[in-house]
Amino acid sequence: MANWIPLWLHKLGSPPIFYRFAGTLRPWALGLALLLGAAALYGGLVLAPADYQQGDAYRIIFIHVPSAWMSLFIYGVMALASFIALVWRIKLAEVVAMESAPIGAAFTFVTLVTGSLWGKPMWGTWWTWDARLTSELVLLFLYLGVIGLYHAFEDRRQGARAAAFLAIVGIVNVPIVHFSVNWWNTLHQGSTVRILGPSKMSGDMLWPLLTMMLATKLYYIASLFGRVRADLLALESGKDWVRQIAEAEERR
């Protein structure tokens, strides 16, 4: 390992230490996610006014857009962890990459379903082969491909390396999803929230949306840590620290 990496980070990569670290952080992340999520839903469903064109149907935005952001964000994390796993062969990076895939797939699925439920009253159709919708569907298939490839190998670490490679190749789809509304003439509306420059949305609607984004990020941490913990136990089941946990849990 290169010596510019701080010692604490190096230690955190060790499975028993990360297991404990994730165990303490997880309830806080979930609690904060639930708190922020509740606040965002109150702001979005109750306080925010109805849209002048879309009426109350636009309220799907408060879960649709954060889910869509997460579907791209988690793919980025998965691809980055895959890269680290392939280059430095760090076990924890492999686990993070492979356990991010189901969460990303869940958010992508939610994005597609909520989008469909929003599209029916607004566009008059559940589905159309438009650039944004199709590239998001490809994203779901990429996630499913990573999950499938990972489980197709007898040896888990070999499977993780093959799936990590697919995850890295699939990253080209992320900018395609993001810019599809600008590059092609699509039925899907353009971005309302912009990082650079003012957003095209009133503050009453913007704050619940951004709060929900934070909540889904924290939820991702909580869910990922739970998954990583379960995976570390399986990968290291022969080790002493896992044995101690198994015995300690029996006494309870």
Partner 1 sequence: MSHFLAMGGYAAYVWPAYAVFFIVLVADYLAPGIRRRRQLRELRARLARQSARQQRNPTPSS
Q: Under the rule (CB under 8 A), what is the footprint of partner 1?
A: 30, 45-46, 50, 55-57, 59-60, 63-64, 67, 99, 102-103, 106, 109-110, 113-114, 117-118, 120-121, 219, 222-223, 226-227, 229-230, 233-234, 237, 242-243, 245-247, 249-250
Can you list the pairs that 234-242 forms with residues at least 24 positions away whose Cβ atoms lie under 8 Å?
Answer: 235/15, 235/91, 235/95, 235/156, 236/15, 236/16, 239/15, 239/16, 241/15, 241/16, 241/19
Q: 3-state class of 51 per DSSP?
A: strand
* CA–CA distances in Å: residue 95 to residues 14, 41, 156, 247: 12, 32, 10, 24
Q: How far is the CB of 214 from partner 1 (least distance, A)?
A: 15
Q: How far is the CB of 2 from partner 1 (least distance, A)?
A: 32
Residue with Cβ nearer partner 1 (109 or 141): 109
Residue with Cβ nearer partner 1 (114 or 180): 114
Q: How far is the CB of 115 from partner 1 (least distance, A)?
A: 9
CB atoms within 10 A of CB 127: 14
Q: How far is the CB of 109 from partner 1 (least distance, A)?
A: 6
Q: How far is the CB of 120 from partner 1 (least distance, A)?
A: 6
Residue with Cβ nearer partner 1 (132 or 229): 229
The single residue listed with the structure tokens 């869509």 is 68
> Six-digit token pair at 211?
């709060």
Residue with Cβ nearer partner 1 (64 or 91): 64
CB neighbour list of residue 206: distance below 8 Å, 6 or more residues apart = 193, 199
